[in-house]
Amino acid sequence: MKFGQLKLRPIISSNLKAEMEYNQLRLEQVLSPLLALMYGTGDNVPNNLIRSCLIFACDHGMKKIVKELEEMICNELITGPNILLNHFQFAERYHLKNLERFSLWQLECEEYHKLGLALLELEDYNKLGKNMRYNIEDRLCSGWGVYNKSLAKREKSGIIRFVLNTQSCEPETASVKNDDLCTVATENEAEFDAYQQELGTEV
């Protein structure tokens, strides 16, 4: 095909074709913002074109452009679990580590935690790879995801266990103190001193 004075023989993958058909796009519409990014004449890609542009850039090894488009997807407003799932799907399929890390971090935020729980109920969720699903469920079950507290406000001595409850963002199990765990900030200083003496060390 011909785009202005530039003759192109682009790779049209099945993923790109499906994305373009879903958004009712022509190839020229995808190439226009890509060329603008490449030559620095524009940095604004419409939301309905970002994914198609990203797929095209990945298919053609345009690493710098991929990074810019990846950042645009990271900045998308999450309004429902389907968008969150789409982010994880793209991150997994095209090895977008920044998008994966950013999306996992969002699961720890109070405002997105319920969307993360709803994500587990989507039919396509189980189509994600085993490692990706493990990372998602680990973040949703972690203390950081369940409680919106900073490290300074967490319990100083103890182990916290949680059970994932898809009906609520609150943990089903309470904090369980481990009496065998000794830390510098332990609540029982006498036991801690005795423990240190056994080890023959000084605090």
Task: Supply the pLDDT for residue 55.
Answer: 93
Which DSSP category does 148 fall into?
-
> SS3 for 117?
helix
Exposed (0-12), middle (13-18) or buried (19+): which is 136, by Cβ within 10 Å? buried
Please give the model's pTM, rounded to 2 decimal places: 0.65
Q: Which residues in the chain come in under a pLDDT of 70?
A: 1-9, 142-203
Closest CA to 117 of 85, 153, 165: 165
Task: Supply the pLDDT for residue 46.
Answer: 87
User: Using one digit for the tens of pLDDT, what is the confidence trace for 11-37?
Assistant: 788 889 999 999 899 988 888 888 888
Task: Supply the pLDDT for residue 2.
Answer: 45
In whole angstroms, give the CA distance from residue 28 to residue 10.
11
Residue-range domain boundaries for the chain: 10-76, 77-147
Task: Supply the pLDDT for residue 9.
Answer: 67
> SS3 for 176?
strand
Q: Are 169 and 146 in contact (CB under 8 A)?
A: yes
Task: Supply the pLDDT for residue 149.
Answer: 52
